[in-house]
């Protein structure tokens, strides 16, 4: 599989590799994302995953440490990526798509050969803090070590102590499917040099302890920015645009700043807590990748940590609002007709929605993201609300791919984004066609069958 | 050679309403449960999404959610002198198949029985004399309304039933059903608003001194979260409930109220495409060891279990009892035997109303959107001199207006041609039907048995239904339909066409999917298949749920009572049975 | 009709990673009919399968030529359906609304093939209350019945076909079929065919336009049925007033297009 970090590595090699990376970036002319939309697992969740995350840990010599470690493992949402579909908890093997290929998550069970059973606390800290596995093997930032770097040594020790109690699975993940030169882990030297410096958590003494706890969780273990912060061409987060929302392949991770239209400006702290705890609130339902985050991470966190996360998110300054012109009247007319017939069953007239059940569209930040990819995706493919312990149902938005043409999807999306006080750039049918093709969804029934 | 599966505490045969109720209750009590369902998994976004569920042709007429008679049917005859022939196409009743069963395509009409329905035989004989029940094989239930009330209430809270109580802890409530027995709690959600047709019914009935109230509905008037955290949305009155799935999660069903919760339990497993062939027993026949099932690839399995529960549709539960040889099959010639006995149906009549000056817009509807009177149901009225017992609720009900089924024309208009077309166009928005939902009482010649000629796809004898409407029920239908017609006239209809149910029973036209009896509960092994905990008298670790438990069918939709009985059964297993497994809960 | 069978299950292809058994299971569940033999049983814990993009959406009738009916049958049905539902100013005739196309597509598909009929023997003539007792699938039933009817017409009308009869005579013949007075050669009674035929004509006239009949929702417009509109919350208590909802089918209405 991957080459270990060569002992003798010359500056010249680094330059060559950096140049090659740049070349590939230019060729692909797109954004280079480490973290990308993998398949949500709700339709086939790993057996026993929720149990292993929630069943009581029996008393024993290290019980408190192990309990704390499991809690932090949950806070890191480690299970979502480190369990493949239908696989055993933490055995890894889930493929994360990048524009360059697929990276498979590692086995985190206590297996000594393929898991972390033989790891020392130092080695584990080094992985999370520096992005380097034993043998000084560079890790791909699909493992979000640019976030995990701030996790304290005490916390990484606790996580490792817990993982060592996870039943060993002798499963080895497949080799990554990456082209040259990205398949050479040495290329990561260049990436790190440009995008990463290991550091400890920097608190802000001017802010409350609650805010600081929130910052530690959001910036660190929960690694929210991995999805919600726009990236540069190398896939590194743009710190000056933190949490302003970002495209992740075929989806949009919404703006989390205080912007009242696209961000969380209209959400109260309690709204945020309720969303993270139950997967739904008066504004939105969690589904897809965020649904996994809620199911396997935030819904299992303590109230005080959720309040801390909310306090930190509520302190993020609002992103600038893009101005968008008035949408085309013909698009709005058609969109209004489609909405009236096809959407009101759940979202009701006026986009009122049924809060906590079917999201209101009036004022919806999800609907008003500058990038319409998420809205198009939801209409074309549908989605399933995350089941949580307190709300085990999984009410779903059905797929409209067979029912609506590209133009009809575009027009109803434009309508939703520009009605009832909503405002967002109009949607072009070509974008719908592109996403329909990327998602390999069906073409609609011919419109002469009406 | 059947493959033996790992043993579980409980195996459920069928995963509709009662299977889901037992699974939820018994998993929460810590028992390991496997549910075997003969057909496929079905979910809202996949099988009845809002994007395509309003499709009358596909669901109603092409049976997309119903039992497919090609693979599972029965034979039918009106009486013992006829040769029973296969039901080759569905018509009169529409059982479900797959996960959720008929709980997917039901209307959501949630009723409780009257107190007197629990002691029907003795009550009528006390009030009207022995001759009042002559010719009918009525039986009292082995339990009272009061014993079942907590479980009725629980089912209401699971569903979020919309309605107006009429009797709260003994205190009469304005606007509710004054005849109903005492409720311990109000309905979880307010009643549905009435559309024009039901409103006219309500006004007419009230002006006649009758007691209209909103039909209790599993189509919810507002969003609701049940005690398990399951969420339902509000009904938007699309008019596609009965025979259809609900796309917007506003109709209570196993899928919207129970199943996702159950599936979070590590001690639960659902196995689909698993058709149970037989209940297996120890050589002495007194103990069920498990069930044999076949998957859709034809491979056979044995599922051992401490408890076997038959939770399929009534017809299939009776069939499984008979093919497994459990309990004595009923013989109408001798009156001996219990399994298959007291098969009853529902005596459904109607009154068509045509208005010249009122736009009813009947396409605005919901499965239980109705104003109802219970004045002529059960023994809510004096039957002296009427020559029958029993009764019907009468409802100004508008479940929707799917035009293939519901284009109505007045009597005397041809069924086709220009005259038909003009009448159809004139009256579609200006007509409605009053529903006369009558009781069905048992007589000796109505029963279920194994067919001597026809075999099912697995080589087992098919179930044979022998049924015709008893004289008592036809008189009841005639009387109650006349009462409904009086209300129809008062509503201002220009044309009132009563359609009292007439014999012989015809298996072709849709009437109702309320098949009951055959595994009835009772006081002793001599008169029933199971005791009041739905426990088999002959095989104490076998439980049977569903409408098969009814010795007769009162004038109510059966789901509310069979769901309550399933909760009661689960409670008995949790609280008593598991302390002494294998022992009868009632001494025979 | 005639669509790629893979299109029945509207699912995106699974990405290369992960076993994705859930999605595959849900897709296969669609192809397994109730009680039909065809695959192993499936086990579910944790949740029910469903993946984004998966739907059991209806198949449309599609365009193109006749799929089942021959030319003679098309002529017979075109003439006959228009006697059952003739044209008038209020709405189209059955054939104008596409009912013959509808019947053709239905007979060529699952319905015509008896997918929801039990057709095994032994066969006996039953009582009227015992319902359909033929060994024929609906497609076979139509073929035999139309042939027998045309034979009967030929005998009584000097070799004419049904379509060439005067409309009054056509009506009279249809009435004889309705009552069963028309005697047919072979095992099918005119009464049983008429019952199936009238039902199918009503189905074609009033079902969703995607199935080939009820073109432009004209039959729904004629009677005032808005079709597949889902939310009438605002009009529940708007008594005795027209509801301002335009007729819409599952695949929409003209107003969904930019105009």
- pLDDT digit string, tens, across residues B337-393: 999 999 999 999 999 999 999 999 999 999 999 999 999 999 999 999 999 999 999
| Residues facing residue A385 across a β-bridge | A287
Whether B130 contacts B548, CB under 8 Å = no
Chain A CB contacts of C236 below 8 Å: none
The angle, 0 to 180 degrees and rounded to 10, between the axes of the packed helices C99-108 and C71-84 is 130
Nearest CA in chain C to B456: C120
- Are residues A17 and A184 in contact, defined by beta-carbon separation less than 8 angstroms? yes
pLDDT band at A22 (very low <50, low <70, confident <90, very high): low
Distance of CA B135 to the CA centre of its chain: 25
Question: Looking at residues B97-102, what average pLDDT do you find?
Answer: 94
The half-sphere exposure of C141 on its side-chain side, counting CA atoms within 13 A, is 27
pLDDT score recorded for residue C22: 35
pLDDT digits (tens, 9 = 90+) for A225-266: 999 999 887 778 899 999 999 988 789 999 999 999 999 999
The answer to whether residue B105 is catalytic is no
Distances in Å between the alpha carbon of B24 and those of A29, A187, A235, B382, B423? Answer: 53, 54, 47, 42, 51
pLDDT in tens, B145-155: 999 999 999 99
- Testing the interface with A: which of C14, C15, C17 to mutate, by most A Cβ within 10 A? C17
- In this prediction, residue A28 carries a pLDDT of 44
For the residues of A341-354, what is the DSSP string, one character each? HHTHHHH-GGG--B
CA distance A119 to A56: 25
Mean pLDDT within A131-147: 90
CA dihedral C4, C6, C7, C8 (to 10 degrees): 110
pLDDT digits (tens, 9 = 90+) for B127-144: 999 999 999 999 999 999
The span from the CA of A240 to the CA of A8, in Å, is 36
- Those of residues 198-257 in C touching chain A at CB distance below 8 A are 209-210, 212, 216-217, 228-231, 233-234, 246, 248-257
Residue C17 clears pLDDT 90, i.e. is over it: no
**pLDDT tens digits, one per residue of C25-76:** 444 444 444 434 444 667 777 777 777 888 999 998 988 899 999 999 999 9
A333 touches chain C (CB under 8 A): yes
Query: pLDDT at residue B580 above 50?
Result: yes
The residues that bridge with C252 in the sheet, in sequence order, are C249
pLDDT digits (tens, 9 = 90+) for B483-531: 999 999 999 999 999 999 999 999 999 999 999 999 999 999 999 999 9
Q: How far apart, in whole angstroms, are the C-alpha atoms of residue B371 and residue B199?
A: 7
Predicted pLDDT at C146: 98
Residue A81 tokens read as 């990526």
Strand partners, B109: B217
Tell me the average pLDDT of chain C. Answer: 86
| pLDDT-derived band at A5, boundaries 50, 70, 90 | very low
Nearest residue on chain C to A412, alpha-carbon basis: C256
* Whether B177 contacts B202, CB under 8 Å: no
Say whether pLDDT at B202 is over 60. yes
Beta bridge pairs of residue B77:
B466
Report CA torsion sign: A105, A110, A113, A116.
positive
Termini Cα distance of chain B? 37
Instruction: Report the share of chain B in percent with pLDDT over 70.
Output: 100
Residues A392, B45: C-beta atoms closer than 8 Å: no
Residue C231 contacts residue A342 (beta carbons within 8 Å): no
Whether the upstream peptide bond of residue C122 has omega within 30° of 0, thus cis, is: yes
**Using the beta-carbon criterion (under 8 Å), do C50 and A384 form an inter-chain contact?**
yes
Name the H helices within A222-328. Answer: 225-228, 269-278, 288-296, 303-314
What pLDDT, on a 0 to 100 scale, did the predictor assign at position A6? 38
CA distance B378 to B393: 9
Q: For the ranges C43-52, C96-105, C214-223, which has the lowest average pLDDT? A: C43-52
Q: Residue A422: pLDDT above 70?
A: yes
Chains that touch A (3 or more CB pairs under 8 A): B, C
pLDDT at A324: 78
Report yes or no: C162 and C81 within 8 Å, Cβ to Cβ: no
Contact between A445 and C210 under an 8 Å Cβ cutoff? The reply is: yes
- State yes or no: pLDDT of C216 exceeds 60: yes
Over range B166-189, report the average pLDDT: 98
Given a cut of 90, whether residue B244 has pLDDT beyond it is: yes
Stronger pLDDT, B450 or A176, i.e. the higher one: B450
User: Looking at per-residue confidence, does C13 or B82 come out higher?
Assistant: B82
Closest-CA residue in chain C for B46?
A: C55
What's the pLDDT at C14? Answer: 23
Residues B520 and B138 sit within 8 Å (Cβ to Cβ): no
Percent of chain A with pLDDT strictly greater than 70:
88
Q: Do B223 and A354 touch (CB under 8 A)?
A: yes
| B 423-452 residues inside an 8 A Cβ radius of C | 424-425, 428-429
Q: State the pLDDT at residue C64.
A: 87
Using an 8 Å Cβ cutoff, are C211 and C204 in contact? Answer: yes
The verdict on a CB contact (< 8 Å) between C248 and A341 is yes
pLDDT at A75: 98
* CB-based contact B479:B357 (threshold 8 Å): no
Nearest Cα of chain B lies from the Cα of A255 at a distance, in angstroms, of 28
| CA atoms of C9 and C24, how far apart (whole Å) | 10
Strand partners, A147: none
C234 CB within 8 Å of a chain B CB: no
Q: What is the mean pLDDT of chain A?
A: 88
Residue A54, chain C, CB below 8 Å: the answer is no
pLDDT at C54: 87
- ipTM greater than cut 0.90: yes
B260 close contact with A: CB closer than 8 A: yes
Q: How confident is the model at residue C13 (pLDDT cuts 50, 70, 90)?
A: very low
**pLDDT recorded at residue C37:** 41
C-alpha distance from residue B585 to each of B306, B520, B547, B552, B574 (Å): 15, 16, 21, 23, 12
Given a contact cutoff of 8 angstroms between Cβ atoms, the answer to whether A228 and A313 are in contact is no
Identify the pLDDT of residue A187: 75
Is the pLDDT score of A188 beyond 90? no
B260 in contact with chain C, both atoms CB, cutoff 8 A: yes
Distance from CA of A51 to the nearest CA of B (A): 8
The pLDDT value recorded for residue A204 is: 96
pLDDT band at A184 (very low <50, low <70, confident <90, very high): confident
Q: CA-CA distance, A123 to A129, in Å (whole number)?
A: 10
Please say whether the dihedral angle defined by the alpha carbons of residues B226, A286, C232 and C213, taken in this order, is positive or negative.
negative
Tell me the chain A residues in contact with residue B160 when contact means C-beta distances shorter than 8 Å.
none
């Amino acid at each position: 599989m991957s080459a270990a970090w060569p002992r003798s590595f010359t500056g010249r090699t680094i330059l060559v590799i950096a140049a090659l990376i740049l070349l590939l970036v230019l060729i692909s002319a797109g954004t280079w994302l480490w973290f990308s939309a993998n398949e949500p697992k709700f339709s086939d969740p790993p057996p026993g995953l929720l149990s292993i995350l929630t069943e009581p840990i029996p008393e024993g010599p290290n019980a408190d440490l192990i309990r704390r470690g499991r809690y932090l493992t949950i806070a890191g949402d480690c299970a979502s990526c480190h369990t493949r579909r239908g696989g055993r908890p933490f055995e890894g093997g889930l493929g994360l798509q990048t524009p360059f290929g697929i990276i498979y998550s590692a086995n985190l069970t206590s297996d000594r050969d393929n898991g972390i059973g033989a790891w020392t606390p130092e080695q584990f800290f080094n992985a999370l803090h520096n992005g380097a596995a034993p043998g000084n093997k560079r890790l791909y930032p699909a493992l979000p070590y640019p976030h995990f770097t701030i996790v304290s040594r005490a916390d990484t020790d606790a996580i490792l102590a817990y993982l060592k109690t996870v039943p060993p699975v002798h499963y080895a993940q497949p080799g990554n499917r990456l082209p040259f030169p990205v398949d050479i882990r040495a290329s990561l030297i260049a990436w790190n040099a440009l995008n990463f410096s290991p550091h400890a958590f920097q608190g802000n003494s001017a802010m409350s302890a609650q805010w600081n706890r929130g910052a530690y969780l959001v910036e660190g273990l929960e690694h929210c920015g991995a999805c919600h912060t726009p990236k540069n061409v190398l896939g590194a987060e743009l710190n000056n645009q933190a949490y302003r929302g970002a495209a992740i392949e075929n989806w949009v991770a919404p703006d989390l700043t205080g912007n009242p239209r696209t961000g969380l400006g209209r959400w109260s702290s309690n709204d945020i807590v309720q969303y993270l705890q139950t997967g739904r609130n008066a504004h939105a339902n969690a589904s897809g990748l965020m649904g996994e985050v809620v199911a396997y991470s935030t819904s299992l966190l303590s109230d005080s940590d959720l309040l801390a996360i909310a306090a930190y998110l509520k302190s993020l300054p609002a992103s600038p609002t893009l101005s968008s012109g008035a949408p085309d009247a013909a698009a709005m007319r058609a969109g209004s007709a489609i909405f009236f017939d096809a959407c009101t069953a759940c979202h009701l007239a006026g986009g009122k929605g049924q809060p906590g059940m079917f999201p209101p569209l009036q004022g919806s930040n999800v609907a008003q993201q500058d990038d319409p990819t998420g809205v198009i995706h939801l209409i074309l493919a549908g989605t399933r609300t995350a089941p949580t312990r307190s709300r085990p149902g999984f009410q779903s938005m059905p797929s409209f791919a067979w029912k609506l043409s590209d133009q009809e999807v575009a027009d109803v999306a434009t309508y939703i984004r520009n009605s009832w006080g909503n405002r967002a750039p109009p949607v072009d049918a070509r974008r719908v066609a592109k996403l329909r093709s990327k998602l390999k969804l069906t073409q609609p029934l011919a419109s002469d069958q009406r | 050679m059947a493959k033996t599966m790992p043993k579980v505490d409980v195996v459920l045969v069928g995963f509709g309403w009662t299977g889901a109720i037992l699974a939820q209750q018994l998993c929460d009590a810590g028992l390991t449960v496997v549910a075997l369902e003969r057909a496929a998994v079905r979910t809202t976004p996949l099988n009845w999404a809002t994007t395509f569920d309003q499709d009358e042709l596909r669901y109603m007429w092409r049976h997309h959610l119903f039992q497919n008679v090609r693979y599972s049917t029965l034979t039918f005859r009106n009486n013992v002198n006829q040769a029973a022939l296969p039901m080759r196409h569905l018509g009169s009743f529409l059982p479900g198949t797959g996960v959720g069963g008929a709980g997917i395509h039901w209307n959501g009409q949630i009723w409780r029985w009257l107190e007197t329905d629990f002691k029907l035989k003795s009550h009528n004989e006390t009030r009207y004399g022995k001759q009042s029940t002559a010719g009918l094989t009525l039986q009292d239930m082995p339990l009272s309304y009061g014993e079942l009330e907590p479980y009725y209430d629980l089912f209401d809270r699971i569903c979020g039933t919309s309605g107006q109580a009429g009797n709260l802890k003994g205190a009469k409530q304005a606007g509710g059903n004054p005849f109903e027995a005492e409720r311990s709690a109000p309905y979880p959600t307010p009643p549905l608003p009435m559309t024009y047709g039901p409103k006219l019914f309500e006004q007419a009935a009230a002006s006649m001194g009758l007691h209209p109230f909103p039909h209790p509905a599993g189509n919810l008037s507002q969003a609701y979260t049940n005690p398990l955290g399951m969420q339902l949305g509000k009904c938007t009155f699309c008019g596609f409930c009965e025979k259809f799935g609900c796309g917007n999660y506003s109709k209570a069903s196993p899928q919207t109220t129970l199943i996702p919760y159950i599936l979070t339990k590590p001690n639960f497993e659902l196995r689909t495409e698993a058709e149970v062939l037989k209940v297996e027993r120890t050589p002495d026949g007194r103990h069920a060891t498990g069930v044999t099932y076949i998957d859709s690839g034809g491979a056979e399995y044995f599922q051992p279990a401490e408890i076997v529960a038959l939770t399929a549709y009534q017809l299939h539960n009776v069939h499984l009892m008979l093919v497994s040889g459990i309990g004595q099959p009923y013989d109408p010639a001798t009156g001996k035997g219990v399994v298959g006995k007291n098969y009853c149906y529902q005596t459904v009549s109607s009154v068509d109303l045509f208005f010249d000056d009122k736009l009813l817009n009947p396409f605005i509807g919901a499965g239980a959107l109705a104003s109802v009177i219970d004045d002529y149901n059960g023994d809510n009225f004096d039957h002296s001199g009427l020559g029958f017992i029993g009764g019907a609720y009468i409802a100004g009900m508008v479940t929707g207006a799917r035009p293939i089924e519901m284009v109505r024309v007045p009597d005397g208009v041809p069924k086709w041609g220009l005259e038909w077309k003009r009448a159809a166009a004139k009256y579609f928005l200006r007509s409605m039907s009053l529903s006369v939902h009558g009781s069905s009482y048992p007589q000796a010649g109505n029963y279920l048995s194994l067919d001597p000629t026809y075999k099912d796809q697995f080589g087992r004898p098919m179930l044979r239904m022998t049924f015709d409407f008893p004289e008592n029920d036809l008189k009841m239908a005639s009387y109650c339909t006349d009462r409904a017609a009086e209300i129809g006239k008062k509503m201002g209809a220009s044309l009132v066409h009563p359609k009292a149910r007439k014999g012989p029973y015809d298996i072709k036209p849709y009437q109702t999917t309320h098949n009951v009896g055959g595994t009835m509960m009772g006081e002793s092994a001599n008169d029933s298949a199971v005791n009041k905990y739905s426990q088999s008298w002959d095989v104490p670790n076998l439980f049977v749920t569903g409408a098969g438990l009814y010795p007769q069918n009162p004038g109510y939709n059966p789901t509310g009572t069979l769901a309550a009985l399933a909760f009661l059964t689960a409670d008995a297993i949790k609280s008593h049975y598991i302390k002494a497994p294998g022992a009868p809960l009632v001494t025979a | 009709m005639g669509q790629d069978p893979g299109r029945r299950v509207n699912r995106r292809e699974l990405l290369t990673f992960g076993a994705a058994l859930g999605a595959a299971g849900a897709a296969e569940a669609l192809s397994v009919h109730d009680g039909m033999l065809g695959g192993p049983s499936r086990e579910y814990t944790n949740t029910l399968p469903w993946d984004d993009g998966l739907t059991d959406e209806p198949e449309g009738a599609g365009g193109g030529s006749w799929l089942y009916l021959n030319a003679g049958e098309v002529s017979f049905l075109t003439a006959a359906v228009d006697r059952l539902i003739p044209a008038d100013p209020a709405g189209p005739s059955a054939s104008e609304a596409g009912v013959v196309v509808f019947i053709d597509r239905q007979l060529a598909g699952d319905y015509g093939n008896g997918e929801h009929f039990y057709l095994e023997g032994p066969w006996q003539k039953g009582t009227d209350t015992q319902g359909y007792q033929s060994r024929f699938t609906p497609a076979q039933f139509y073929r035999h019945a139309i042939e027998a009817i045309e034979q009967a017409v030929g005998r009584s009308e000097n070799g004419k076909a049904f379509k060439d009869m005067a409309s009054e005579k056509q009506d009279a013949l249809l009435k004889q079929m309705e009552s069963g007075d028309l005697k047919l050669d072979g095992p099918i009674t005119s009464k049983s065919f008429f019952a199936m035929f009238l039902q199918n004509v009503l189905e074609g006239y009033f079902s969703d336009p995607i199935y080939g009949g009820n073109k432009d929702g004209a039959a729904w417009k004629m009677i005032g049925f808005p079709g597949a509109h889902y939310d009438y919350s605002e009009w529940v208590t708007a008594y005795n007033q027209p509801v301002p909802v335009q007729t819409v089918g599952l695949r929409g209405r003209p107003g969904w297009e930019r105009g």
